[in-house]
Structure 1
Amino acid sequence: MDVEFSEEQQEIRRALRDALDKQSDSPAVRAAMATEHGYDAKVWRRLCDQTGLAGLGIPEEYGGVGFGFTEVVIALEEMGRALFPSPFLASSVMAASALLHGADEGARTEYLPGIAEGSLLAALALAEPGTRDLAAIALPATATADGGYRLDGVKTHVVDGALAGLILVAARLDGETALFAVDADAAGLTRTALPVLDQTRRQARLDFADTPARLLGTPGAATEKALERVRQLTEVAIAAESVGGAARCLDMTVEYSKIRVQFGRAIGSFQALKHRCADLYVALETSRSALYYAAWAAAEAEAAGLDVDPAAPGAGELALMAPLATTQATAAYRHLAEEAIQLHGGVGFTWEHDVHLYLKRATTSALLFGPRTRQRERIAALAGI
């Protein structure tokens, strides 16, 4: 495993960091999260046009840039550092991955170019009330006499579900797991924005009442494999965002410790604070190591495809490393954000300081796929513990 980034990958990081420093600074983030949809459509459009951000991991044949998942992880790390409010996770990672792995060629050809361009925003609806377990998906789909399909039921905690133009829905068709596409203006679909702790990432409840839907791909084992891969990739994506955000929290804390003077000296010169910052650095680097291992496994698994032997390099390791990386990274992220607030003293508790925004992102990211205890149970089962 080579953990060194290529010059091209380092250039991607530099270009994105420069763009985000200019267009997603603190005032821009606060202005975006105060809007109805929680992001700035003009900034999103500009970044997509200038950097190809939305299509970074989408193959060129579907209008994307054609990079691998490693480059997507680099982008997510930088977006997490800037706390960039955008549809990237929901549309370009979750929905795009579901289409690439779980849809038919016609659907990929129809939907992916718009997602890659950034003009079509998509969302993936997995969770249902009371559960976020893929095996517990129960929303029923029924076939109609005219060859179509209808959905009835509820999906909840759908990331960007209230603003997406395309909804991909996991449902049950004759007892089999199936993936469907639903237009945002479809009859019988009611979208309700949920109150969220993290205003930089919106979630919604979707109610389906005899809602027309288009079947994507083949129901059954193929769709189950596809959704499992989507979950794994999303977990690595969350880990990448978390590492970026945690690194920013540590940077802010170290910088503050150099300029805050107490008892006639910078507080960063006190040994007790040095020790705490050193511990935070260790937690951050441990998470970064887990992330990069998971990113390597994801890239290897993506190159091999879904039908490869689960024990093959990359494929089997991704199943284990994805939840491990996200639990490690989100726990470290929250810890670093909490410590940053403490070490900033009184100013750290104020609305005007940005640290609380990172704490909110850390808290909600840890729960996107259910409680951390459930993820650790998966890790233990996969590791044979």
Structure 2
Amino acid sequence: MTDLLYSEEEEALRSAVRDLLADHCDAASVLARAETAEPHGRALWKALADGMGLAGLLVPEELGGQGATHREAAVVLEELGRAVAPVPYLTSAVVATEALLACEGEAARELLGSLASGRRIGVLAMPLSHAHGDTLFPVRETGGALHGRVTGVADAVVADVLLVPTESGLHAVDTADSGVDVVPQTSLDLTRPLATVTFDGARARLLAPDARLPVGQGLRAGAGLLASEQLGVAEWCLTETVRYVKERHQFNRPVGSFQALKHRLAQLWLEVVNTRAAARHAADALATGSDEPHLATAVAQAYAAPVAVRAAEEALQLHGGIGMTWEHPVHLYLKRAKADSLAYGTAGHHRAALAELVALPAP
């Protein structure tokens, strides 16, 4: 059996990423940026992608990447989740990169190199809620030109290139080209904004004649590693709530000393520990193929999504009145957890997929 404990290298990576986020992604700056027209942390993304080379973790060294595995990418996502970092790591360095890795040809290899270096940001032009197994492609290709509209595309507003699946294949389109219009949408999660992308005769480069394999690979990796981000969100909520109830006094004693709150936090701690096991299993299965990746991903998402939401809800409630204020960052974690619970398939979708995989469909 594969060892799911963190290696020394993974812990060193965690420490480096956490230090970087402490310097560039404190709660006050995230809150301030969320209220502006530019919610993404471009300086932080440059530090992560260019300074640390994290955008290319999943890209082989011969293509300009780091040649690491999904386990290392999962560690990065845990820390990004703990900081609700407003960067397109999941969408570009994981989903778009995995989709390109499933393509053959020089065009895909060249694009992979630019994403790995951080010079460009790539986004799969599909709704964030689109799950592995869904085959409906809203954009059509006619004579090398794309037509159609896609709503709910995460991080499209900062993307340099869009990967657009159609019935005739997977295409690449530069967002700066004519015929491409990206309009921001009102998003629940201000740290991962959504946009509507409209194609009106945009010229595209063909990356793969069949979009189903690369899109499926990208969405599977996205769902599997999203569990690590959800783990980071849940861990922050638990840690900060425990710290707060130790400091907050009522009736001359810490509120954390009341038995009812102890039980709630103990139950949450158990759920977070189980989430870590499921998330690590999914990351390892994606990295090594030692277990069925589809099965591990379905288990991780079916469990992690509701735990992250519950951890954020408990954090909001147990912080009392201060947790209800806009100035406190707990609302960012609740919104991220809620949005993540819909990303790449709901928990219900993954439970249904899990039932099919183990030949136990619902009656």
Shorter-chain-normalised TM-score: which range?
A: over 0.9
Cα distance in 2 between the residues matched to 1:184 and 1:353: 35
Cα distance in 2 between the residues matched to 1:49 and 1:183: 21
1:360 to 331, 335, 346: 335
Cα distance in 2 between the residues matched to 1:52 and 1:32: 24
Alignment correspondent of 1:181: 172
Alignment correspondent of 1:282: 270
> After superposition, where does 1:93-172 map in structure 2 within 5 Å?
93-101=94-102, 103-127=103-127, 134-142=134-142, 144=143, 149-172=144-167
Alignment correspondent of 1:377: 352
Cα distance in 2 between the residues matched to 1:197 and 1:141: 31
Identity across aligned pairs (percent)? 38
Cα distance in 1 between the residues matched to 2:134 and 2:326: 37
Residue 218 (structure 1) shift:
2.9
TM-score by length of 1: 0.89
Over 3 Å counting, the alpha-carbon distance change for 1:153 and 1:70 in structure 2 is: same
In structure 1, the gaps of 5 or more residues are 302-312
Check conservation: 2:220, 2:294, Cα contact below 8 A.
yes
| Secondary structure at 1:135 match in 2 | coil
Alignment correspondent of 1:73: 74
* 1:223-267 CA-partner distances (Å, limit 9, x unpaired): 423222211100012111100010000001000011001111111
Cα distance in 2 between the residues matched to 1:54 and 1:97: 12
| Secondary structure at 2:354 match in 1 | helix
Higher deviation after alignment, 326-335 or 42-51: 42-51
Residue 34 (structure 1) shift:
3.0
Residue 276 (structure 1) shift:
0.7
Check conservation: 1:129, 1:154, Cα contact below 8 A.
no
Q: Structure 2 counterpart of 1:2, which letter?
A: D
Matching of residue 335 in structure 1 with residue 310 in structure 2:
yes
Check conservation: 2:138, 2:149, Cα contact below 8 A.
no
Over 3 Å counting, the alpha-carbon distance change for 1:162 and 1:381 in structure 2 is: same
Alignment correspondent of 1:345: 320
Check conservation: 1:128, 1:154, Cα contact below 8 A.
no
Check conservation: 1:236, 1:322, Cα contact below 8 A.
yes
* 1:108-159 CA-partner distances (Å, limit 9, x unpaired): 33212221121201110123999986222252212x3xxxx11111112111
Alignment correspondent of 2:31: 30
Check conservation: 2:225, 2:282, Cα contact below 8 A.
no
Alpha-carbon RMSD across the aligned residues, in angstroms, is 1.9
Alignment correspondent of 2:65: 64
Residue 277 (structure 1) shift:
0.5
Q: Structure 1 counterpart of 2:161, which letter?
A: L
Over 3 Å counting, the alpha-carbon distance change for 1:369 and 1:325 in structure 2 is: same
Higher deviation after alignment, 158-167 or 121-130: 121-130
Alignment correspondent of 1:204: 195
Alignment correspondent of 2:21: 20
TM-score by length of 2: 0.94
Over 3 Å counting, the alpha-carbon distance change for 1:11 and 1:260 in structure 2 is: same
Check conservation: 1:128, 1:137, Cα contact below 8 A.
no
Q: Structure 1 counterpart of 2:120, which letter?
A: L
Cα distance in 1 between the residues matched to 2:160 and 2:240: 37
| Secondary structure at 2:127 match in 1 | coil
Alignment correspondent of 1:306: none
Residue 348 (structure 1) shift:
1.1
* 1:331-382 CA-partner distances (Å, limit 9, x unpaired): 1000010011111111111111111110000001111224432232212111
Cα distance in 2 between the residues matched to 1:129 and 1:346: 32
Structure with the larger RCO, 1 or 2 (CA within 8 Å, 6+ apart):
2
Over 3 Å counting, the alpha-carbon distance change for 1:22 and 1:217 in structure 2 is: same
Q: Structure 1 counterpart of 2:157, which letter?
A: A
Residue 33 (structure 1) shift:
2.2
